[in-house]
Every structure is written in structure tokens, then in C-alpha cells.
Structure 1
């Protein structure tokens, strides 16, 4: 590509990381003749293991990678299948077999993956080139000018090896991460109420949590020697620690904390983090102390969560991935929001190619995307103090999964994200689910304020809840419009039934606990148990 005459392309994507490369592949799968250019500032190939944080995927993102983009051979052959999420209430403890553990004893039906970002992004760059995407690495975007009307292209100036190039594009997508070029240019940055910090590093060795106890009974709770493949959370009041294995043989370790309880300056170097582990998670400290020489990197983010006023525009620009907004890594939603955002961008480009007006559709997609964002943000905002509660957090995890698998995942897996007619017919149910989620999150916080926080030496096995395992499996169903509507209405009923059980469980031990907004919503619309709704207890047996 040369400076004169300027080249014009259908789509220019600024940023060749996870969000940008997957969008390029999705566009090429949808339109074989589309002309896509990806400008990536890093040189390729990138290093394995210590490339980028964000290694754990969940069901929406995993389905996007292996099915929507057709990358299943790579995901199964070059990455690790994740053994779900797992939680240990191990603050200040070395006897991990004597604390409450939350997780599944076996793999559930729908896969997710632990992703070595270096391996994956190298593969995505190669796959994009094989599919006809013009992938340019070591390219630095210098300036951009957005089109003034529908007939003009956007103009992008970039440099590589000291030479300046100019390209024109009908569509411009910012996927350059937190640099957020379009966000800065258009003044779209938006703070949110979730204030947390994170530090992380990679160690060039496996952390095999299965070996942290010799107790045969504890080891027998799960599939043999599979715990290390989970995204393991070591939790305490105001923080959680992640342990994520990588296919390259390294392990990712991170601390995410509410600064009101665990300030960043107590952990913002590797030595400080190790001192912090010695106090708060001593068994992990023991594991890492002899591996200090295997440290591969160390980094931190202050106040990592943020919003964005707008991510899709009828003026033929969009933001995807961290160039737009970012929530929290607790449930690993980053790749989910890439999947949703890229699907909306692809559909907007399809409508533009068909000659349809874009403004109203782009505005609607932006509203829905932000609704998903607000629903998910509620899972984290002011919730970190209850993360050390062995009675309330397991209930929260069940609720959060039920909302995720029963509502958001169903919409994505059933390919209804862009079906405005069907989603419009479910508007009341979806709004009810969102309001109920907000109320439950508030109630969980209040419950934890009076909880006895009993830390029992048991495993709360999610796979032992038949309705829960079936909810996961149901993502694999293929439904017509009427069956999908019925599924979503059943999900709304299930959430109301679960909310009622949560309320009853909490008030059994704490009779004076106020029901708050949750009680009001349940009184207005009590659960009407359908024939396909669970009739058995939905929560783990109380201690």
C-alpha cells in the first residue's frame, strides 16, 4: 500500500488484537468479497504466555470462537479446555481441603477455554491473511478524519518503518484497546461506579492446585487432577486472586481488589504482591516462593473499569473490545462483549452493503449493547466486600450464572442478537429480568452484611444441581421463533423462582433482614412455575 493514490477499502480496523482480528474473520466469513485492512502496531509474531491479560473465556466468547468463526480445531488442539470457574474461601489458610469450595465435579456440556493470547493472536493473524484480510503489523496510526457525509470515505494516515501511508475506508472500526483513538477524538469516554484495581504476572510453570492436598476424599471430589484447568479463584473480603493455566506451559496469576480494602500500593510490584500473598493467600505464596526466577512479566491497572457513551454509529464507525468499554475480569466477560459487539458491527456493515439506512438500527444496537453492559456491571459494582462470604458468594454465583445462561447466552447462542422483531416481542420479559437482577444484587449485598460467613469444609458441586447442568446443556438446542420465545419466558420464571428461594434462604437465618426492592418486585410479579420450570430446591443445602 502506497501513499498515492490513496487506497480505498470497505473496512479499516485499527488494532489487530483479539477484537480486531476476530471482527476481520467474521466479516470475511459473511462476505467473501469484502476488502478489509487491519492495522496493528505490534510486530508479529507476538510472544507466547506473557503477551496480554484476559486469558479465560466463558460460554458466549467460546461459542463465538469455535462455532461462529469456525476456529474449533485450533481451540481444541492449541488451547486448553477450561474446567469451569472454581472458588476457594482460603483467605489466610494453607489447608485448602478444609475450606468451602464452589465448582463443578465434572465438565458441563458447553465448552469454554483457557487461551494463551500470544498463541491465539499469532494464529488469528495468520488465519486472517489466509482468508484475504490485509493484515499489516508494525503499523502506527497517526491521524484519522471521519467522513462528513454518507458519500465520503473516512481517511486514515499511518506509518510503518518510517514511511507514511494514507488509506480511505467506507467503515472505520477502532479495536486498538485502551488507547481508544476514536473515543478520544469524539469525547466518548465515560466513567462508571466500579472502582477496582488489578495486578498480574505470568510464571513459567504449572500451578497444579490438585497437589495442594494429599487428602484422598478431597481429591476424589472432582475429575482426577482437573482442578488446575479451572479458572481458580482464591477469594476474600474485597478481592479475588485468579489462577489461569496457559497452553504454553505458563500460569497466569492476578489479584483484583477493591482499593478501599486492599490498596494498589500494597501489591503493585512483584515483591509486594508476594508479601501480600504471604498474608492473605499463604498457600499460593508457598507455591510461588520457589519459582521467583520463573517470573515472565508483571503489570497492573488502576481503576480498570470504564464505560463509553457510544460504540456504534450510523455514520459508519464503531468501537469494539476495550476500545469501547470494559467491565471486570471476575466472570471473564471480555470475549463475550467482543462477540456481541462484532456481531452488531458485522450486521450494520451488511445493511450498509445492501443500501439500507443505518442510523436507527445503529442507535438500537447501541442501546441493547449498553443494556447488556449495565446488567453485567451490576454483578460487580460494590460487590467485592461479599467475595469473602462463604454463605452468600456461592448463592450469588448460582444467580449470576442463571441470568447469564438463561438470558444473555440464550440470545447469542440462538442467533437472535439482531432479530429485533423477536426481541421486541420479549421486551417486557427482558426488562423484568434486568430489574430483578439489579434487585437481587442489592439484596445479596445486604444479606452479606448480616451473614454468619460459615466456612464449611465442603464442596458445593454445581454439577449436582440437575436444573443447573441442564440450563448449561440447553445452550446447544436449536429453536425456532416460538420455541425461543417460550425458552426466554421460562427463563424469566426460573429467575423469579430462584430469587424467591434466595430471599427465603437469607431470611431463614436472618428474620429481620429487609426484603427491599427484591420483595417489592416479587410481590408485583410472583413466580408462576411452568411445567418446564424446576420444582426442586435450586440452591445448595444450607450449612
Structure 2
């Protein structure tokens, strides 16, 4: 399993979630393997959103076996909640709310990524990985034959080190070191121009506080779980905000927006603009009116979506965000981390054991970009254009989640050994579901455009509480919710078609402001 003519069997670039996970999975199965993790930072920073989906929850608890750490140091997440309003002055009791009535059945978590990443990196080192931190990789010379790869590494303290390795795993995150070095990096700016600002806040008024429930008694009704421990989303045309509670008492809050449809309020700083935007939503005002931000913890990304054309080559492979990232709306970033890390570990193990792994490399280079494109078209392409309409989002929420549970979630729970090393929406069944999802997403984009033209966009953003009649699980209950979503979709099609086109559309949401628009009858 080890190579005597190299310094290391594997060098991992990046020690956060994906890099540490790869080190853990390799070392616990092959203690003799020589693995070096190179991490450039002295401490880990925050990420875009800090929440997991059910698939990532499965990877954390059943593959990495981190249930105890997660229970002790992070919040159990109870679903996703979405809040809609017609005007910033709406009463909280009048808002339309979408979200679960009961606690989640499968493990999901609100993560403090800095704590989790440090814990995983320590565990990788406890298994025997060598760590060089903080250190910067200055040069990478990839071999095109059987010769080892060569890296020049500069520690923050000390002299330049030149090391050789049989395998190189790129877990460099958004830096995407190998993808950019090899000219494989592709931005989705033209078709998904999304940006994000986020910060940590303290002294936040939770939705389940005495103050909140005293001011708005409706918050005591209809929901049998805590709203605070859900991922709460504030929704609008072209944007959404996340509000995520963390175990130290702070909240992660951020806004992600599509620059084609929305512009943040002006302000003297990114933090001021984020705060001003939070105040435009009734839930945002209720929670953040007296909140205290950590100004040093404010981050901004201009272009969120990107991917690599290929993710594997001659004894190198990319994992996690180094391979690509789409959108934080459904918290699927760690899903791809789980799949790509599992596939990379399988590839490295088999290659170092002497197997011919060219077929696996070829598969990853075909399956990853295909899966990325299918998932993007299904879930995110132009979705921000109808994000401010509660009826349309209710339909897509039911459809998206039920398809997700019937497909990727059921797969990793029922057949983990095979599913984790393959990409989501694999095979004919996966392709069929992805095609169906992309079709209804296109229909909702069209319905959103028609509703704006007819002046009924956001017509149900007040006065509704839409909650699934059961907790989601990867079985027949998801199929029932799929049918419920189809019925809501059909109703949206009919109401949009029957709505007349007035000569004057009095108000409509555009770029976060109320605007008048005149159209031809």
C-alpha cells in the first residue's frame, strides 16, 4: 500500500472539512499510509451558511461517525422554514410561513464550521496524518507518468520544504488550486450571477423567546417544534436570507442574491448593507433590531457558483469545494463534499493497492460535471426569479424535497457502500428525476414571469401557513409529498392562467422595492 520512492503516499492540500475527512477515511483503514495535510491558515474561518442537509447528516454520522461531537457542540437542525411578506411593514402574524410542523426524522445539524473543521483535523492527526500548518504550497509539479508529484511548501516559520508524493488530493476549497492551475476552472457568472454577504450576530431575539411570543401570539400556534433551531429563510424577489443559530449563542445571518433581479440597499460598508436589508423584512426586524454584529466576522463572495471541467487525473483528484460549488439555498455544499471525498478515497486506495484505476478516473471526469449540471438545472437555474412568490416556492419546496428524499437520501441510507462513491442523479432513474425537476423548475420560472406581468406575483405572501402533513423520510411519505407538490403546482398553473392582465399593474416587487408598472392590456 505504501511507496518507498516517495516522501508520502498522499499529500492533501487543505485541512478543513473535505481534506480532514479524506485523511480520516484513508488512515483508519490503512494506518501504514503516509499522509501529509498542508493547511495554509492558522485557524479556520466561517463558510457560506453553516447548515447541513439530510445527505450530509448521513455522511457526518454514518461515514465519519461524528454523532457524539455533533450532539455535544452543535445544534440539532429541525428543517427549513421560509418567511414571505408583501411589504416591510407587514405584521409578523400575517406573514406566510412554509416549513415543517414536527421535528426532523433524520439527523441534520446547524454547524459552527470553525469548531467542526478543527475537530476533524485533530481527529485526522490522531489517526496518524502529519500536519504542516500554517504553510503555503508554492509550486506543484504534476507527473504525467509513474514518477512522483513534487511540491515546494513554505511553512510560516522555517525553511522551504520539497516533498514528493504518489497521490495529491486537492481540498483547497474555493481557492480551487488544481482546477485553476490546470485551466479547468469554470465560473457560472453568466447564468447564475449570485453574491453573498454574511456575518455573526449576538443579542439576537429568537423566534421562540418570551418577547417574540408575547408580541406575536401566532408564533405559539401551529408548530410543535422550535422554530429557532430550524434554518429560517427570509424570502424575496431575487434574494433570500439565512438565519442559523449556533451553539455559542450567536447567529449566522447572511443574504444571497442574484444580481440580475436584486441590489442590496446602499450603505457605508458591507455589514451596514446586510443590516439594512435584514430590517426590510418583518422577521428580520423582530430578530435583529437590537442585535450586535461581529464586524470582524463579515465575509463577501461576489460569484458563488463554479465548477471544474475535470476532477481527476494522473494520481490527483479534487474534492469538496475545490471541485465546485453551486448555491447555499438548500445547504447541499457538504453533500458533494461527502460524495467526492468518498470517491477520492476509493480511487486512492485501489490505486495504491496496485489496481488499474483508469476506469474510475474516467467515470469521475464524466459523472461529476454531468451531475453538477443536472443538479444545477433542477434546483437553481433562474430560481431567484420566482423566489419571492410564496405559492410557487411552496410547490417547488414540496417537489424538490420529496425528489431529494426519494433519490439521493434514500440511496445513501439503503446502499451506502455504492452510493457514496458515485455522484448524485446517477443512472437512468436519477437522470429521469433530474429531468423532471428541471422541467418543473422551468415552468415555475415561466409562471413567475407571468405573475409579474399580470400583477399577481406574491399574491399569497400574507395569511398562509403551509406545512407538510408529516416529517420527511426516504420512504412512501416522500412519495405522498411529491403528489402534494404536484397538486400545488397544478393549482399555480391554473390560477396564473386565469388571472387577467390589467392595463395597469399597481405594485410589484422589483429589486427589493415597491414599483409601479404599466403594461399593455
TM class by smaller structure: 0.7 to 0.9
**Which residue, out of 483, 499, 505, partners 2:491?**
505
- In structure 1, the gaps of 5 or more residues are 475-486, 514-543
Aligned to 2:72: 77
Instruction: Give deviations 1:367-393, integer Å, cap 9, x for gaps.
Output: 222333123212112110211101110
Aligned to 1:326: 325
Displacement after TM superposition at 1:302 (Å)? 0.6
CA contact (8 A) 1:6 1:167 kept: no
**C-alpha separation in 1, matches of 2:265 and 2:492:** 36
Distance 1:337 1:350, change over 3 A: same
CA contact (8 A) 1:95 1:213 kept: no
Instruction: Give deviations 1:160-214, integer Å, cap 9, x for gaps.
Output: 1141112111110111122222112110111222111111111134441224343
Displacement after TM superposition at 1:427 (Å)? 3.0
User: Aligned pair 1:303/2:303, yes or no?
Assistant: yes
CA contact (8 A) 2:403 2:482 kept: no
**C-alpha separation in 2, matches of 1:274 and 1:235:** 15
Aligned to 2:50: 55
Aligned to 2:391: 391
Aligned to 2:463: 457
**C-alpha separation in 2, matches of 1:101 and 1:495:** 17
Aligned to 2:192: 194
CA contact (8 A) 1:42 1:137 kept: yes
Aligned to 2:519: none
**C-alpha separation in 2, matches of 1:162 and 1:265:** 47
**Which residue, out of 178, 202, 209, partners 1:204?**
202
User: Aligned pair 1:87/2:73, yes or no?
Assistant: no
**C-alpha separation in 1, matches of 2:387 and 2:423:** 34
Instruction: Give deviations 1:421-450, integer Å, cap 9, x for gaps.
Output: 999998332222121111111011122233
User: Aligned pair 1:243/2:238, yes or no?
Assistant: no
Aligned to 1:518: none
Aligned to 2:502: none
Number of aligned positions between the proteins: 481
**In the TM superposition, what are the counterparts of 1:302-451 in structure 2 within 5 Å?**
302-313=302-313, 315-378=314-377, 379-415=379-415, 418=418, 427-451=427-451
Displacement after TM superposition at 1:251 (Å)? 0.6
Displacement after TM superposition at 1:406 (Å)? 1.1
Moved more, 406-415 or 250-259: 406-415
Displacement after TM superposition at 1:53 (Å)? 3.5
Displacement after TM superposition at 1:63 (Å)? 1.0
**In the TM superposition, what are the counterparts of 1:229-308 in structure 2 within 5 Å?**
229-263=229-263, 266=266, 269-278=270-279, 280-285=280-285, 287-292=287-292, 295-308=295-308
**C-alpha separation in 1, matches of 2:66 and 2:332:** 19
**Superposition RMSD in Å:** 2.9
**Which residue, out of 116, 122, 134, partners 1:120?**
116
**C-alpha separation in 2, matches of 1:254 and 1:416:** 33
**C-alpha separation in 2, matches of 1:300 and 1:137:** 25
Displacement after TM superposition at 1:496 (Å)? 8.3
Normalising by structure 2, report the TM-score: 0.85
SS class of match (1:158): strand
CA contact (8 A) 2:54 2:106 kept: yes
Aligned to 2:515: none
Aligned to 1:141: 137
Distance 1:63 1:207, change over 3 A: farther
SS class of match (1:300): strand
SS class of match (1:229): coil
Distance 1:237 1:27, change over 3 A: same
User: Aligned pair 1:106/2:102, yes or no?
Assistant: yes
Distance 1:169 1:495, change over 3 A: farther
Distance 1:496 1:264, change over 3 A: closer
CA contact (8 A) 1:15 1:39 kept: yes
Normalising by structure 1, report the TM-score: 0.82
CA contact (8 A) 1:55 1:114 kept: yes
**In the TM superposition, what are the counterparts of 1:34-53 in structure 2 within 5 Å?**
34-44=33-43, 46=44, 51-53=46-48
Distance 1:317 1:264, change over 3 A: farther
SS class of match (1:182): helix
**In the TM superposition, what are the counterparts of 1:161-180 in structure 2 within 5 Å?**
161-180=157-176
Moved more, 110-119 or 290-299: 290-299
Distance 1:80 1:503, change over 3 A: closer
Distance 1:293 1:58, change over 3 A: closer
CA contact (8 A) 2:91 2:282 kept: no
CA contact (8 A) 1:202 1:296 kept: no
CA contact (8 A) 1:96 1:213 kept: no
